[in-house]
Amino acid sequence: MERKTNKIKRIRGYALVMVFAGLIIMYLGVFFRETPWLFGLFILAGFIPLGFSVIIYFWVGMVSTRIITVECPNCERPTKFLGRVDYCYFCKEPLTIDKELEGEEFNLDYNVQHRRDAFVARKKQKEDQ
C-alpha cells in the first residue's frame, strides 16, 4: 500500500532514519571498546549514514527554497509542491498542477516524464476515437 505523504516529508523521513541508523551503529561500537580497531570501525561506519543524512537535509533545504507553494483547496493552507502531482503536507489531499491530469485518478507515476507523456498520448487517442 502506498503511503499518502508529501515528497518533502518522505525524504526528510528517510534522512531521519539514517541519523538513527548511524547512531545505533556507533552505539554498537561501545560493546567492542576493549578492541580499539573494532571500536573505531563501528564509529567510522556510523558516520557514513550520518554524513549522508546531513547531505540529504542540506539538499532538501536547497530544494525547498525553489519549489512552488500552492494553497490546498481542502484545508486552505499553503503547501510546498514538488513535481506535477503530490499530496498536501497537512491533510494529505492529492493535488496536481498539470491541467491535463485534472480529474484523473491520482498516481505518483505522473511525476516521471515518460510515464506522463504515455498517459497523455493514451488519453488523446481515446478522445480521437
Domain ranges of the chain: 7-66, 68-128
Name residue 94's beta-bridge partners.
87
3-state secondary structure of 127: helix
Q: Residue 47 and residue 27: Cα distance in Å, rounded? A: 11
CB atoms within 10 A of CB 74: 13
Q: Which residue has the cell 516521471?
A: 112
Reported as a single tens digit per residue, the pLDDT across 62-100 is 988 888 888 888 899 998 887 778 888 888 888 888 777
Predicted pLDDT of residue 2 = 60
3-state secondary structure of 89: coil
Predicted pLDDT of residue 3 = 67
For residue 114, give the H/E element and its range.
Answer: helix 113-128
Per-residue pLDDT band for 57 (boundaries 50, 70, 90) equals very high
